[in-house]
A and B are shown apart, each in its own frame.
Chain A
Amino acid sequence: MTQKNRLQSGGRIDRTRPLPFEYNGKRYTGFAGDTLASALLANGVDLVGRSFKYSRPRGIVAAGADEPNAIMQLGASEATQVPNVRATQQELYEGLVAHSTNGWPSTEFDLMGYLGKVGGRMMPPGFYYKTFMYPQAMWDTYEKYIRKAAGLGRSPLENDPDRYDHVNQHADVMVVGGGPSGLSAALVAARSGARVILADEQAEFGGMLLHSDEQIDGVAAVEWVADRVRALGEMDNVLLLPRSTVNGYHDHNFLTIHQRLSDHLSDRAPQGQVRQRIHRVRARWVVLASGAIERPLVYGNNDLPGCMLASAVSTYIKRYAVVPGQRLVLMTTNDYGYRAAFDWQDAGHAIAAIVDTRTNPDGEAVSMVRDRGLNLITGAAVIEVTGGNRVSGVVIADIDEGGGRVTGKPYSLACDTVASAGGWSPTVHLSCHTGSRPEWRDDIAAFVPGKGVQQQLVAGAVNGSYALAACLEEGARQGAQAAINAGFEVDLEQLPIPSARNVEEWPAMPLFHVPHTKPTSRAPKQFVDYQTDVTAAAVELATREGFESIEHVKRYTAMGFGTDQGKLGNINGMAIAAKSMNKSIPETGTTIFRPNYTPVTFGAIAGRHCNELFDPKRLTAMHGWHQQHGAKFEDVGQWKRAWYFPQPGESMRQALDRECRATRESVGIMDASTLGKIDIQGRDAREFLGRVYSNAWAKLGVGKCRYGLMCGEDGMVFDDGVTSCLAEDHFLMTTTTGGAAHVLEWLELYHQTEWPELEVYFNTVTDHWATMSIAGPRSRELLAELTDDIDLGRDAFNFMEWRSGTVAGVPARIFRISFTGELSFEINVQANYGLYVWEKLFEHGKKYNLTPYGTETMHILRAEKGFIIAGQDTDGSVTPLDLGMGWCVANQKPFSYIGKRGMAREDCVKPQRKQLVGLKSRDPQVVIPEGSQAVDDPNQPLPMRMLGHVTSSYYSANLERSIAMGFVRGGHDRMGDTVYYPQADGTVIEAEICSPIFLDPKGERQNV
């Protein structure tokens, strides 16, 4: 197809680089420098989508981030699909594949459109709240169809092949927007030596200057831009970020920038490159030079393809050499809008009329119209357009001076394009993100950023200063001020200010809703928000129904909820709401903009922090060995812990039975390196331990170890472990694997805030040591083969003592502690010797059938002994007494340790608390599922009275039966009673309450 709307010359496109692309299955060609939108317009594609509610045909309206209609599905393959891309912001590349998003069976031939015409009247705002209720059961069905009709593009169904990353940046001056104000600001700030970041969402810097005829410092604006960009690019203290949208302005001058590195190149990022990047910027001062967005005028059928923003028409003609039609009607409320008509005429196309809504405009623009011999109609408006899938004509009528009503007889005029210029809305979004409320200015009929709450300055159009000369001057001054505020020197007297001609403009007319001969409710649809299909009638109806807060109006009508977040429609909508309630716009107020300014790819926000890097993996020194020996792993905190070591062909149960038996019969070994280890030193270390543990520490001698329970101030157990006395002023505390970091912070909290007078120091040494626990009746024999400097004799090295010496020639600390109830030694060596010592143990261990076991066997062995696991047998609602661990509570200690007062509260000492007990299923082969809930009467009606849940439950190969621990109300006094565990499948498991110590109640095995 030919590019029928393309001019032969001009524009910023490269005619030597034609780019073929595909839209809705058809092949087209554009040029390098095109956006998808400009390429479609060049090819005469009018129709780019269907509206989601009324299924009306829609065309391209705007040329930038404000585009509501041209929302495309992009992607040449399933994995590279991107939904909802604005064609106006997508640069064209060779082979680009795009589809329109709404319309069935196709956008061009749309059946839903007929339904929209018929059913549209049934769909006022909030219609879904008023219907689909009866019968109740039908809602699921209604909802299915509502859901299908909603949504725009679709998610890819395959994983993203691209990568994303984050960069942290620090700037003295961050300039948002690379138009005249931003370029001006950046250069002044940069010349002071400040580190400057200049970001702009477009591919090229320059903003509106890229389609302007104006001159700056005596040269064409585009040349001035090129010169400035070159100058900035040569400075080391400047970072220029094109294709980079500042999306969020957060607290303490933190901004996020979404940079598209390769979306303009190809379907997916070139090999080895990052697709998009988030810059996380901490700026000393920010200059917002984000410009303004032109407001469309709201008139009948203003959504027909061919209705466009005046500034967009100029942009397409001047920047892309595309004239999006043959015959133009321009409707404007201000002088600036005239430029579109001049550009149109200069491109050699016909102008049917310029309709100025002002009664007697008489500025420079008007005299130019006369010079050019154009048809100027004043004091009138286009009240409606006509046409099918494209504008074919307009209906014009005189209106009164205030724009409130039609005063003349309507008449028609043929045309295929209507450009409307309703004035400008400053892009206040980023300022709003900080919590600053925008302020209404009557003189320009627009909201501007309110008083800044951060280190923020504003310059140019965003500040309501639209004239080029004013933009350039404000930019320079604010750039200078930002640099000065950030600590740099600028001579304000000698500030070079770029000069531009001052254009004399006739005052603009505030007009937010073009009147019609019919009342709004009966006039042709006058769209306020195209993407969400909100009309002026809908806004008026909402206020009539009592939705009087502007937030209510927005929520009831969905105005501003589209992907453009109401960039075009919000101000018109607010003004219409205000008028229908007889309020002023500032009285009605505005809704608040939130990040993002434009949508940001989830992958970019996630950056590298997904897949393997979602969370750090912590591995022990022996991890590789475990892998080689077939271990299955479980996640505990960030650690990968060996769970069990199945041999080929073994089931989990078989592996566990083997591991358990081997340990009790001979010797097993477990990697316990993940347990938290905190080195505690200082004169008052012992006193400190006494305060944070529930039991006594005053008399623990050097060389001894002791188990301790740690509680919160509420008396609830939150961690446990063995602490050893290394020297009078030196202890080594162990914690649970998952609780280590929290415990260390807990200790620091109490030391730093409550007891700074205690001399004590804490350090984490978890990663310093590799810890291997050998357990079983032959563990002493095994260890004896590898150490010759420690007397392992029963009376020389008692249970709950530790010794230092060497194991396999490596300096080691050996702790004779046991979590299995067996004779057991915990060998600690410097972590980088861990694997060596581990392997040495296996070299010598063959004859003892040394068997590696993981966390699951550890759980079984400890459960046989009734030892708890904090976090599994406790849940933050359990006191030491609930656990039956009164022996671990020393209430006679002089200091009221943490937890003592808490566990004495009324509810904590009441009878019938849930208490931890042992449980034996009636059928010894049945393992009660963990999490089962006990009841006294399994036949009672729902809801049942529950007594407590099973916390730990296993099959014990050593005992040849199942064992369990769990909570039972008042369970400590119910030994021998039967409780019942109703299961999901309807069966009931019967169990007897017993002591949780199933094996060796006297503790003889660990003392051999």
Chain B
Amino acid sequence: MQKYSGFGLLKHALSHHENWQRVWRNPTPRTHYDVIIIGGGGHGLATAYYLAKEHGITNVAVIEKGYLGGGNTARNTTIVRSNYLWDEAAHLYEHALKLWEGLSQDLNYNVMFSQRGVLNLGHTLQDMRDIQRRVNANRLNGIDGEVLDAKQVQEIVPIMDCSANRRYPVMGASWQPRGGVARHDAVAWGFARAADRLGVDLIQQCEVVDIQVEDGAATAVVTKQHGTIKAGRIGCVVAGNSSVLAQMAGFRLPLESHPLQALVSEPIKPVLDTVVMSNHVHGYISQADKGDLVIGAGIDGYNGYGQRGSYPTIEHTVQAIVELFPIFSRVRMNRQWGGIVDTCPDACPIISDTPVENLFFNCGWGTGGFKATPGSGHVFAATLAKGEAHELAKPFSMYRFYDGALIDEHGAAGVAH
């Protein structure tokens, strides 16, 4: 594989960029794989990469209905942080954050992980109590975090209106300096390129229409374009379609699929250097390297697979942003879009074996999957390799919804991401 570097770029410039290699092959699927991963989004590609890299399992296919990284990977607002409340979630997301920190070098692909810090604002006394609780838990879990008062918040974000005369004045915030944003497409492409290099077959434009189950065990996937492909183990990583795939295998999941909308402004010169999130006024914002303000909020209340939501959600989100940043009132919104998020009742994911043997699911990340991409892939790869849950994945079994051991992150994940 060609190694990417500044020198390489110079070399290729001299030959008019005519000799760049393909980033990945376009293979014809084999008849049997040790592991088939359904879903070529960030999580699925990361799973494939770590299966090959960490576990030496390279007879692996990633089967993608559309194009690589075309689902929620392509549609999210790219926030990365690990300041979750409960130990189980905090450890999982911190595992991911640590992987983020060396990811560009590991993949030899610049995913533009930018640790510009994440502020979660508090606007009420109860918000501030919750922030204290969460930051204290983060600290004792070894995760960076600070509680800031309104004045300190103002210093970090001078353009935000932190005055007392707003409807819900900013009282303070939690601050995770190691949080930030990354370039979402690059994450998928970087994992894809690295997985391909290790021998993983990336099969695009291939839709799984059935999962074959014999004697309670999954044995193969049936695809629309390439027929039946046998597999030792199958990992399903299809955010936005998890319930549909589960139904093929004959069981249900504790999920609802909802539209999650986001929007961007026109590109403007750098004006916001960190990520600002507010559960209470319900919106969050960062500025992409391209200059767009990237904005989002919560899900639409109804189930929806349409990759679009309702206009009032956009209105409320923009209202929240203008309330926090009145100076953005004259800036203009360029475009909006929607993804499909599989939400779990406790706002935590499912990384789990299933009632069908050899079939594993990684789903239910709700609005916060992007930030977990490397960690999710890493623990799911271990789970698929060994046939039993990785230590960090154990609390995220789907069976917690029977015994009641939920990990209720609604407080920490209340606003999308």
User: Direct contact between A and B in the complex (CB less than 8 angstroms)?
Assistant: yes
- Is residue B247 within 8 Å, beta carbon to beta carbon, of the partner chain? no
* Contact assessment for B329 and A130 in the assembled complex, using a CB-CB cutoff below 8 Å: no
Contact (A614, B332) CB under 8 Å given A907-B404, A931-B136: no
**Residues of chain B lying within 8 A (CB to CB) of residue A606:** 315, 318-319, 322-323, 329
The residue from A544, A871, A944 contacting B126, defined by CB atoms under 8 A apart: A871
Proximity string of chain A (218-261) to chain B, C-beta cutoff 8 Å, 1 when within and 0 when not: 00000000000000000000000000000010110010100000
- Is residue A949 within 8 Å, beta carbon to beta carbon, of the partner chain? yes
* Contact assessment for B268 and A596 in the assembled complex, using a CB-CB cutoff below 8 Å: no
Proximity string of chain B (126-157) to chain A, C-beta cutoff 8 Å, 1 when within and 0 when not: 10011111111101111000110000000000
Question: Which single residue of chain B is at the shortest CB-CB distance from A946?
Answer: B140
* Contact assessment for B13 and A931 in the assembled complex, using a CB-CB cutoff below 8 Å: no
* Contact assessment for A942 and B4 in the assembled complex, using a CB-CB cutoff below 8 Å: no
* Contact assessment for B306 and A549 in the assembled complex, using a CB-CB cutoff below 8 Å: no
**Residues of chain A lying within 8 A (CB to CB) of residue B332:** 82-84, 599-602
* Contact assessment for A609 and B124 in the assembled complex, using a CB-CB cutoff below 8 Å: no
9-residue interface stretch from B22-30, B47-55, B354-362: B22-30
Within the assembled complex, what's the spacing in Å between the Cα atoms of A122 and B136? 47
The residue from B20, B24, B129 contacting A541, defined by CB atoms under 8 A apart: B20
- Is residue B74 within 8 Å, beta carbon to beta carbon, of the partner chain? yes
9-residue interface stretch from A143-151, A318-326, A771-779: A143-151
Within the assembled complex, what's the spacing in Å between the Cα atoms of A946 and B134? 12
**Residues of chain A lying within 8 A (CB to CB) of residue B186:** 129
**Residues of chain B lying within 8 A (CB to CB) of residue A552:** 67-68
Within the assembled complex, what's the spacing in Å between the Cα atoms of A943 and B330? 46
**Residues of chain B lying within 8 A (CB to CB) of residue A599:** 265-266, 332-334
**Residues of chain B lying within 8 A (CB to CB) of residue A924:** none
* Contact assessment for A128 and B110 in the assembled complex, using a CB-CB cutoff below 8 Å: yes
Question: Which single residue of chain B is at the shortest CB-CB distance from A855?
Answer: B125
Min Cβ gap A67→B in Å is 14
- Is residue A45 within 8 Å, beta carbon to beta carbon, of the partner chain? no
The residue from B21, B135, B322 contacting A610, defined by CB atoms under 8 A apart: B322
* Contact assessment for B404 and A905 in the assembled complex, using a CB-CB cutoff below 8 Å: yes
9-residue interface stretch from B238-246, B365-373, B406-414: B406-414
Within the assembled complex, what's the spacing in Å between the Cα atoms of A134 and B102? 11
Which of A159, A606, A906: most chain B Cβ within 10 A? A606
* Contact assessment for B266 and A563 in the assembled complex, using a CB-CB cutoff below 8 Å: yes
- Is residue B290 within 8 Å, beta carbon to beta carbon, of the partner chain? yes
Proximity string of chain A (622-653) to chain B, C-beta cutoff 8 Å, 1 when within and 0 when not: 00000000000011100000010000000000
Which of B10, B17, B131, B333: most chain A Cβ within 10 A? B17
Min Cβ gap A175→B in Å is 20
Within the assembled complex, what's the spacing in Å between the Cα atoms of A138 and B130? 35
The residue from A156, A159, A164, A872 contacting B129, defined by CB atoms under 8 A apart: A872
Min Cβ gap B373→A in Å is 16
Proximity string of chain A (849-880) to chain B, C-beta cutoff 8 Å, 1 when within and 0 when not: 00000000000000000000001100111000
- Is residue B220 within 8 Å, beta carbon to beta carbon, of the partner chain? no
* Contact assessment for B141 and A942 in the assembled complex, using a CB-CB cutoff below 8 Å: yes
Instruction: Classify chain A's interface size.
Output: 35 or more
Contact (A82, B4) CB under 8 Å given A551-B74, A872-B126, A876-B408: no
Proximity string of chain A (593-607) to chain B, C-beta cutoff 8 Å, 1 when within and 0 when not: 011100111110111
Within the assembled complex, what's the spacing in Å between the Cα atoms of A982 and B140? 8
* Contact assessment for B146 and A984 in the assembled complex, using a CB-CB cutoff below 8 Å: yes
- Is residue A132 within 8 Å, beta carbon to beta carbon, of the partner chain? yes
* Contact assessment for B140 and A944 in the assembled complex, using a CB-CB cutoff below 8 Å: yes
Within the assembled complex, what's the spacing in Å between the Cα atoms of A614 and B319? 7
Min Cβ gap A441→B in Å is 24
* Contact assessment for B70 and A551 in the assembled complex, using a CB-CB cutoff below 8 Å: yes
The residue from A561, A609, A908, A930 contacting B315, defined by CB atoms under 8 A apart: A609
Within the assembled complex, what's the spacing in Å between the Cα atoms of A136 and B115? 12
The residue from A139, A548, A595, A635 contacting B123, defined by CB atoms under 8 A apart: A635
Proximity string of chain B (95-131) to chain A, C-beta cutoff 8 Å, 1 when within and 0 when not: 0000000101100111111110000000111100111
* Contact assessment for B266 and A131 in the assembled complex, using a CB-CB cutoff below 8 Å: no
- Is residue A170 within 8 Å, beta carbon to beta carbon, of the partner chain? no
Instruction: Classify chain B's interface size.
Output: 35 or more
- Is residue B12 within 8 Å, beta carbon to beta carbon, of the partner chain? yes
Contact (A124, B269) CB under 8 Å given A131-B110, A134-B5, A944-B140: no
Min Cβ gap A913→B in Å is 11
- Is residue A973 within 8 Å, beta carbon to beta carbon, of the partner chain? no
* Contact assessment for B110 and A132 in the assembled complex, using a CB-CB cutoff below 8 Å: yes
Within the assembled complex, what's the spacing in Å between the Cα atoms of A101 and B4? 33
The residue from B141, B308, B327, B406 contacting A160, defined by CB atoms under 8 A apart: B327
**Residues of chain A lying within 8 A (CB to CB) of residue B134:** 931
**Residues of chain B lying within 8 A (CB to CB) of residue A951:** 129
Proximity string of chain A (917-942) to chain B, C-beta cutoff 8 Å, 1 when within and 0 when not: 00000000000011111010000001
Question: Which single residue of chain A is at the shortest CB-CB distance from B161?
Answer: A159
Contact (A549, B159) CB under 8 Å given A131-B5, A603-B322, A634-B125: no
Contact (A551, B334) CB under 8 Å given A153-B269, A931-B136, A949-B137: no
Within the assembled complex, what's the spacing in Å between the Cα atoms of A248 and B334? 12
- Is residue A409 within 8 Å, beta carbon to beta carbon, of the partner chain? no
- Is residue A443 within 8 Å, beta carbon to beta carbon, of the partner chain? no
Within the assembled complex, what's the spacing in Å between the Cα atoms of A80 and B329? 10
Within the assembled complex, what's the spacing in Å between the Cα atoms of A907 and B130? 24
Question: Which single residue of chain A is at the shortest CB-CB distance from B334?
Answer: A599
- Is residue A714 within 8 Å, beta carbon to beta carbon, of the partner chain? yes
* Contact assessment for A595 and B335 in the assembled complex, using a CB-CB cutoff below 8 Å: yes
Beta-carbon contacts under 8 Å, B323-341 to A: 323, 326-337
Within the assembled complex, what's the spacing in Å between the Cα atoms of A100 and B100? 38
* Contact assessment for A602 and B328 in the assembled complex, using a CB-CB cutoff below 8 Å: yes
- Is residue B9 within 8 Å, beta carbon to beta carbon, of the partner chain? yes
- Is residue A452 within 8 Å, beta carbon to beta carbon, of the partner chain? no
Question: Which single residue of chain B is at the shortest CB-CB distance from A164?
Answer: B329
The residue from A563, A594, A946 contacting B137, defined by CB atoms under 8 A apart: A946
**Residues of chain A lying within 8 A (CB to CB) of residue B123:** 635
**Residues of chain A lying within 8 A (CB to CB) of residue B102:** 136
- Is residue A584 within 8 Å, beta carbon to beta carbon, of the partner chain? no
Within the assembled complex, what's the spacing in Å between the Cα atoms of A522 and B13? 11
* Contact assessment for B140 and A943 in the assembled complex, using a CB-CB cutoff below 8 Å: yes
Min Cβ gap A538→B in Å is 9
Within the assembled complex, what's the spacing in Å between the Cα atoms of A902 and B405? 11
* Contact assessment for A596 and B126 in the assembled complex, using a CB-CB cutoff below 8 Å: no
**Residues of chain A lying within 8 A (CB to CB) of residue B276:** none
| 11 A-B pairs with C-beta separation under 8 A | A129-B112, A134-B105, A155-B159, A155-B328, A156-B327, A545-B20, A594-B335, A596-B333, A609-B315, A611-B166, A906-B402
Q: Top 8 nearest A-B pairs by Cβ distance?
A: A931-B132, A151-B291, A549-B67, A905-B404, A160-B329, A603-B329, A931-B133, A599-B332
Given contacts A151-B291, A872-B129, list 19 more A-B pairs with CB under 8 A. A83-B330, A83-B332, A129-B189, A131-B5, A133-B4, A150-B290, A152-B269, A155-B328, A156-B327, A157-B159, A251-B308, A522-B16, A545-B20, A558-B290, A565-B334, A602-B330, A636-B124, A872-B126, A876-B408
Residues of chain B at the chain A interface (Cβ within 8 Å): 4-6, 8-10, 12-13, 16-18, 20-26, 66-68, 70, 74, 87, 91, 102, 104-105, 108-115, 123-126, 129-137, 139-142, 146-147, 159, 161, 166-168, 183, 185-186, 189-190, 204, 265-271, 281, 287, 289-291, 306, 308, 310-311, 314-315, 318-319, 321-323, 326-337, 400, 402-406, 408, 410-411
